[in-house]
Amino acid sequence: MPGTGTNYARRIGIVEHIRGGTVTKVNYAVRPDNRTVHPSWHNLKLEVDCQIGDKIKVLIGKGRQTEKPFSAKDIEDVDLSDIRSAIQAESARYAAMFSRGSTWMVGRTTWKVTHRSTDDPYDGSRQDHVSNGIVITLECIETFSRLQRKIGLIAEQAITAEDYLPFTQEGDDIHEAWYPLLKYEFGTFQNTRSCDVTEIGIKSQVWAKFEGITNFNTIPAPGILRNANKDKIQYSEGKVTSFAHRMSFFALDVRPSNYDESKSANKGWVNIGPYLFAVLGNSPVDVYSFIRVEHPERKQFEYRLRPFNSAIFVEQSNGEGDVFVLDGGRFGAQSWEGSTIYGTFQMRARGYKAEPRNYFTHLEMAAVPELITADDGSVTINYGSVQKDTSKFSWKP
């Protein structure tokens, strides 16, 4: 989800997609914009369709933040050396994670690292590492959809700029949920003998935490701050340390036990629909739930809990459509049918249905609309792209 989970990282991105002899890159463009003296970039990102055997290249750590990119009269230059050091440390950590043979998830696809431009650890003090970065090659090993097998490329220049990020218009920017690269694990288990029912017990702990963030709800409008500055009035913003909600998603896949993986695509795995499952939490407390699966016939089956990531909701569905939120503390259980090529499974679980988009925004990260006003009291909020910008949320004046 935007604002929680894994965001798109700094100085790392998928810059090439390769299928056979065809190489796809993002060619950014520059256009004039009367709102700023800086050029406005667009075409910074591109969706591409993938299939098993395709390759992508991930660029890590190319370029280095200028320590003092701005200067102004009578004002001391802003020193960004601490930010530069933090980003270089991040690049070193990411490069170490992309070891040969490691597997990654992007959207509804999974990938395996097959090659690195160097096996040396990333070192921000080495000029060759900063000038060239480290290039990781990955090969697609599985796709989870016939229609939505997309991943997101970005323009290399957008993650290698050394002074400041390019100015963009709404919709052109690379937001935090733009197909992030994710480490993942599958939960796989199978029946030890033929049976009629499989009951899956799940223990989860899902939450987010804000540590000393600005209390945006207390910040006055820009017009009020400007007038206060003229009157030499100073404001001190409050800080917030608190837990917040987070929602984690997964799909339940099935196949017969001891399946010959060479017989079909996706090694025989099929999803038991029609709902994804979700777990919602807002504190470090264990949440218990269960899923009861009645088999189409007395038989041994193998099951897989497959994680679902934020890019799928933000880029491919806008977070619409119900998921089933597991809640073992609720009274009564809901039932539904899941049709597959292996037959119809009878599903039963405690919980409720909800749309993921209703959990996109943390109110702790958004200013109160009543405070975002001009001098005359008129509201100046832009309500576009709610699902991609956690600082905006719906409100009718």
Give the start-to-end residue ranges of the domains of the chain: 12-184, 188-207+245-359, 209-243+361-388
Reading phi first (left if > 0) and then psi (alpha if -120 to 50, else beta), residue 71 is in beta
**CA angle (117 as vertex; 115, 123 as ends), nearest 5:** 125
Q: Which helix (H) or strand (E) holds 155?
A: none
Reading phi first (left if > 0) and then psi (alpha if -120 to 50, else beta), residue 19 is in beta
pLDDT tens, residue by residue, 351-369: 999 998 888 877 766 655 4
Q: At 395, is the pLDDT very low, low, confident or very high (cuts 50, 70, 90)? A: very low
The CA distance from 379 to 275, in Å, is 39
Tokens of 34: 């009367």
Tokens of 316: 């491919």
pLDDT tens, residue by residue, 160-217: 888 777 677 767 778 778 888 988 889 999 999 999 999 999 999 998 888 888 777 6
Between 20 and 395, name the one with better pLDDT: 20
pLDDT of residue 36: 64
In this prediction, residues 280-297 reach a mean pLDDT of 94
Q: At 296, is the pLDDT very low, low, confident or very high (cuts 50, 70, 90)? A: very high
Judge whether residue 139 has pLDDT over 90: yes
SS3 state at 40: strand
The distance of Cα 5 from the centroid of its chain, to the nearest Å, equals: 6
Residue by residue, DSSP assigns 6-20 as: PPPPTTEEEEEEEET
pLDDT of residue 109: 93
Percent of the chain with pLDDT over 90: 43
In sequence order, the 6+-apart residues with CB closer than 8 A to the CB of 317 are none
The distance of Cα 363 from the centroid of its chain, to the nearest Å, equals: 19
The distance of Cα 124 from the centroid of its chain, to the nearest Å, equals: 26
The CA distance from 67 to 239, in Å, is 28
The CA distance from 228 to 233, in Å, is 5
| Closest to 324 measured CA to CA, from 202, 142, 186 | 202
Q: Which residue has the tokens 């009861």?
A: 292
Q: Which residue has the tokens 């994670």?
A: 97
Is the distance from CB of 310 to CB of 6 less than 8 angstroms? yes
In this prediction the pTM is 0.80
Is the distance from CB of 47 to CB of 180 less than 8 angstroms? no
Q: What is the mean pLDDT of the chain?
A: 83
The CA distance from 225 to 231, in Å, is 10
pLDDT of residue 264: 72
| Closest to 164 measured CA to CA, from 313, 14, 18, 37 | 37
pLDDT tens, residue by residue, 109-134: 999 999 999 999 998 888 888 889 99
The CA distance from 128 to 206, in Å, is 41
| Closest to 175 measured CA to CA, from 183, 162, 165, 184 | 165
pLDDT of residue 4: 35
Burial of 327 (0-12, 13-18, 19+ CB in 10 A): middle
Tokens of 201: 């017990």
Between 396 and 307, name the one with better pLDDT: 307
Single-letter code of the amino acid located at 207: W
How do 167-168 and 187-190 pair as beta strands? unpaired
Largest CA distance in the chain: 80
Judge whether residue 323 has pLDDT over 80: yes
| Closest to 199 measured CA to CA, from 96, 368, 313, 350 | 350
The CA distance from 1 to 355, in Å, is 12
Q: At 33, is the pLDDT very low, low, confident or very high (cuts 50, 70, 90)? A: low
